[in-house]
Amino acid sequence: MRTVSTSVICFRSDFRLNDNPALREAIEAGPDGVVPMFVLDDHYWGPNGRTRLAYLMALLRDLDERVGGLTVVHGKPWEVVPRVARAVGATSVHVAADYGPYEKDRDDRVEKALADDDVALVRTGSSYAVAPGRVTKDDGSPYRVFTPFYRAWQQHGWRAPAPGVRSVPWIRADVRTKQIPDVDPPEGVTLPPLGEDAARRRWREYLDQVDEYDDLRDLPGRDATSRMSVHLKWGTIHPRTMLADLAERGSKGAEAYARELAFREFYADVVHHRPDTLAGYYDKRFEAMDYDEPGEDLQAWKDGRTGFPIVDAGMRQLLAEGWMHNRVRMIVASFLVKDLHLEWTVGADHFLDLLVDADPPSNQHGWQWVAGCGTDASPYFRIFNPTSQGKKFDPDGTYVRRWVPELRDVPKKFVHEPWKLDEPPADYPAPIVDHAEEREESLRRYAQLRS
């Protein structure tokens, strides 16, 4: 009599059926049935991350339809995952390897709990082309600077995309399940397209533009970025799939795009070796920096009412889309840290709350780069002038006019300096700070820190 073989696959941030090695392993281990499950983990259910949570719930509903019924359970993973495995008599539970500090501890506890029932936790693949910890210097130590990491990352290489699956013997576990909660995004935020089909469709469309990426990526007024960050964040496409397509292009733009994918993997590697930098400083010296207490200026920054058009356009885009152009992310971050003298963590927390694509390693280390306290740190004395940045990267004011309607009729000459008009728009605020003065103040504080 043949033994029935079933398995469980636990989705976390890998919401796709193609190029999913963990799923292929689950099918091989469970030819008689694979239980697709998701754990509503209280660790991720807090006051912050509202946009991501709303997007995640929508993703779960999409996946629920694709697999014909997702087993959704609520509780501590190390308690509920074994319960589901026991309910279906699974001999193995399959996941993609996760590398965050909480995630590694969680999976270790799940593995130990499953072992009590003689069930294996099988980690296969990850959400990276090259898993964190794989790329090291010759002496085994991690890289602290991106460029040598990038060269070693390229030399290391990655596997080809995993073959797709034609059919999966999905089954549901006989356990009490939770309804997928309805979570609304913050008021005014429109969520982007979601799911594996949307990710692949957008990527196919963007490949026709990627050759121009290196020339256009810093121009927020042009629709020249891929908007694939949200799909990478939630694993509706794998970077390995994208890298394979980029390699076929062989253009300067494709190479520049692949380099940006490597940045995501670099920051994940940094956090793998330095998990403390998810909440604290990579360069501990900057903990002693003289920062101001958040006040009305912080709210003006959040609301897009600073009086600096490119800053306000970016912050209003964030409020409307849960997303912001990458060049503008650097500009608004510099303004918060260098013009308002607020600690980088204040801005990083705000981004984590509202960005639909917020990837903690990239978010935290992107902010630390601007603040001068991270890896590959931009020197603290490199301070973005929001006006000159606007003129350089949005020369016609297209981006500003799109998000700051008060300035739509302002002539090009003044769109980044409306305060120079004889009659500035009455409904647009004057600059809340003098950039030249605040630049000098930032340099004074930096000199004080160094001394």
Per-residue pLDDT tens over the stretch 6-46: 999 999 999 999 999 999 999 999 999 999 999 999 988 87
* Residue-wise pLDDT tens digits, 294-315: 999 999 999 999 999 999 999 9
Residue 227 marked ligand-binding: yes
Q: How far apart are CA 218 and CA 326, in angstroms?
A: 8
Residue whose structure tokens are 């501890």: 105
* Neighbour-count burial of 320, counting CB atoms closer than 10 A to its CB (0-12 exposed, 13-18 middle, 19+ buried): middle
- Amino acid 223: pLDDT: 84
Residue 92 marked ligand-binding: no
Residue 261 marked ligand-binding: yes
Cβ contacts of residue 411 below 8 Å, gap of 6+? none
Write the DSSP symbol of residue 336: I
Residue 228 marked ligand-binding: yes
Q: How far apart are CA 447 and CA 427, in angstroms?
A: 39
Residue whose structure tokens are 């279906």: 88
The CATH homologous superfamily of the domain defined by 7-126: HUPs (3.40.50.620)
Residue 293 marked ligand-binding: no
- Fold (topology level) of 284-450: DNA Cyclobutane Dipyrimidine Photolyase, subunit A; domain 3 (1.10.579)
Q: What is the dihedral of CA 397, 399, 404, 407, to 10 degrees?
A: 10
- Where exactly does CATH 1.10.579.10 map onto the chain? 284-450
- Where exactly does CATH 1.25.40.80 map onto the chain? 128-158+196-273
Q: Which pair of tokens denotes residue 168?
A: 């999966």
- Amino acid 3: pLDDT: 62
Residue 37 marked ligand-binding: no
Residue 313 marked ligand-binding: no
Cα-based distances in Å from 263 to 67, 359, 378, 436: 33, 12, 15, 32
> Percentage of residues in the chain with pLDDT exceeding 90?
88
- Amino acid 45: pLDDT: 80
* Residue-wise pLDDT tens digits, 218-249: 999 998 899 999 999 999 999 999 999 999 99
User: What is the end-to-end Cα distance of the chain in Å, rounded?
Assistant: 79
Residue 266 marked ligand-binding: yes
Q: What is the CA radius of gyration of the chain?
A: 24
Half-sphere exposure of 269 (CA within 13 A, CB side): 27
Question: Candidates 3.40.50.300, 3.40.50.620, 3.50.50.60, 1.25.40.80; correct CATH number of 128-158+196-273?
Answer: 1.25.40.80
- Amino acid 1: pLDDT: 41
Per-residue confidence at 47, pLDDT binned at 50, 70, 90?
Answer: low
Residue 200 marked ligand-binding: no
Residue 213 marked ligand-binding: yes
Closest CA to 118 of 92, 80, 84: 92
- Amino acid 382: pLDDT: 81
* Neighbour-count burial of 451, counting CB atoms closer than 10 A to its CB (0-12 exposed, 13-18 middle, 19+ buried): exposed
> Percentage of residues in the chain with pLDDT exceeding 70?
98
Which of 175-184, 291-300, 418-427 is the least confident region? 175-184
- Where exactly does CATH 3.40.50.620 map onto the chain? 7-126
Residue 438 marked ligand-binding: no
Residue 128 marked ligand-binding: no
Residue 229 marked ligand-binding: yes
Q: Is 88 left (phi over 0), alpha (psi -120 to 50) or beta?
A: alpha
Buried b (16+ CB within 10 A) or exposed e, 159-182: eebbeeeeebebbbbeeebeebee
* pLDDT at residue 377 tops 70: no
Stretch 330-345: mean pLDDT: 97
Residue 226 marked ligand-binding: yes
